[in-house]
């Protein structure tokens, strides 16, 4: 599918890429974003809670949704329910890569890497209940040969494939194996979105140019810098403006949970000269008013430090 080639994706990061953050990244150039890690069991068993469990809305122009689980019947109900409630979604994604023990113990996430036949059944159950494109997000297996075999098997049942170039054992440590990603791309006939250690827009575009992937997905580099999708490194002033914009969007979408706001403030101000003490104070803020006051009172010092 051509719409998934040559694009910059924001990675789905559980507990971080919420609606305000996705909207902020879209504003600064992310071509696609994803609602992360929605439990298929929760939607299948309590479909009436779909709006409470999913934070997508009509303002998002390029968002997909990631489901996690292991029972094809749950995916039938979940896909149908979500597709009806959120018709503006651009794609569905099956998580086959989450390395957390909790997710794996339930049979979902990276536990699915050892069960290609089950993955194909889940993908087929999703496809049968929506006309939206279907995708899977996987990690590398213990050998490139096994990774290629798994990818080839499931690629016949989805429209594009996202590959994180680390094994489950690595979690988020070590280096991403882009040579393995490239080999997988050479053996499948659908677009491959490469994920892992992409720190800039230029790096992602080079990976596409050199045939390592068809599109790329940025994760950790975007957490502290949504401007990465514009190819920019923010100044101290821009770091403050990013948090101000995030706060504005949070108010508009009525997502103002203090723990999440603290986390975004600390991430956006990371690397700003003179912000270490401020970030420590932010981590202890109990209310939105306290958080805003801390940032406001220190902003002139942060801006002055780079002049």
CA distances from 177 to 95, 103, 174, 204 (A): 19, 24, 9, 14
Where do we find the tokens 């770091």?
Answer: 239
Residue 119: name the closest of 146, 168, 155 by CA.
155
At 135 the pLDDT is 99
Residue 59's pLDDT is 81
Q: List the Cα angle 216/223/4 in 5-degree steps.
A: 20
* Strand arrangement, sheet containing 134-140: 8-10, 215-218, 192-195, 160-167, 134-140, 92-96, 63-68, 33-39
Q: Where are the beta strands (DSSP E) in the chain?
A: 8-10, 33-39, 63-68, 92-96, 134-140, 160-167, 192-195, 215-218
Kindly give the confidence (pLDDT) of every residue in the chain, 307 residues in length, as a single tens digit, with 9 standing for 90 and above: 789 999 999 999 999 999 999 999 999 999 999 999 999 999 999 999 999 999 998 888 899 999 999 999 999 999 999 999 999 999 999 999 999 999 999 999 999 999 999 999 999 999 999 999 999 999 999 999 999 999 999 999 999 999 999 999 999 999 999 999 999 999 999 999 999 999 999 999 999 999 999 999 999 999 999 999 999 999 999 999 999 999 999 999 999 999 999 999 999 999 887 788 889 999 999 999 999 999 998 888 777 666 5
What residues form DSSP beta bridges with 95?
137
Cα(26)–Cα(149) distance, integer angstroms:
34
CA distances to 96, 171, 200, 283 from 196, rounded to whole Å, are 15, 11, 11, 28
The answer to whether the CB of 67 falls within 8 A of the CB of 42 is no
Residue 122 pLDDT: 99
| Contact by Cβ (8 Å): 240, 299 | yes
Q: What is the pLDDT of residue 227?
A: 99
Residue 46 confidence (pLDDT):
97
For residue range 207-224, list pLDDT tens digits in order.
999 999 999 999 999 999
Distance CA 17, CA 84 (A): 23
Q: What is the pLDDT of residue 307?
A: 59
d(CA 269, CA 280): 11
What confidence tens digit (pLDDT) does each residue in 280-298 have? 999 999 999 999 999 998 8
């Amino acid at each position: 599918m051509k719409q998934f080639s040559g694009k910059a994706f924001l990675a789905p990061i559980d507990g971080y890429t919420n609606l305000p953050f996705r909207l902020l990244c879209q504003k600064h150039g992310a071509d696609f974003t994803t609602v992360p890690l929605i439990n298929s069991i929760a939607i299948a068993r309590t479909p009436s809670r779909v709006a409470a469990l999913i934070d997508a809305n009509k303002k998002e122009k390029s968002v997909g949704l990631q489901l996690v689980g292991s029972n094809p019947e749950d995916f039938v109900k979940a896909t149908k329910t979500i597709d009806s409630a959120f018709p503006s979604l651009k794609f569905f994604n099956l998580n086959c890569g989450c390395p957390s023990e909790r997710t794996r113990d339930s049979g979902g996430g990276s536990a699915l890497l050892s069960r290609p036949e089950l993955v194909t059944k889940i993908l087929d159950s999703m496809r049968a209940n929506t006309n939206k494109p279907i995708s899977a997000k996987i990690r590398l297996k213990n050998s490139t040969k096994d990774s290629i075999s798994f990818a080839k098997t499931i690629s016949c049942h989805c429209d594009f494939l996202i590959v994180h170039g680390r094994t489950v054992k690595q979690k988020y440590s070590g280096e991403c194996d882009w040579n393995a990603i490239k080999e997988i791309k050479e053996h499948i006939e659908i677009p491959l979105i490469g994920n892992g250690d992409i720190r800039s827009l230029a790096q992602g575009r080079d990976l596409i140019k050199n045939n390592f992937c068809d599109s790329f997905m940025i994760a950790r580099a975007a957490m502290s810098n949504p401007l990465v999708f514009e190819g920019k490194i923010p100044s101290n002033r821009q770091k403050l403006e990013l948090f101000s914009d995030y706060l504005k969007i949070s108010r508009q979408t009525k997502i103002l949970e203090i723990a999440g706001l603290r986390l975004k403030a600390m991430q956006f101000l990371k690397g700003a000269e003179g912000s270490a003490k401020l970030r420590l104070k932010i981590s202890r803020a109990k209310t939105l008013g306290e958080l805003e006051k801390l940032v406001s009172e220190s902003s002139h010092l942060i801006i002055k430090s780079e002049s």
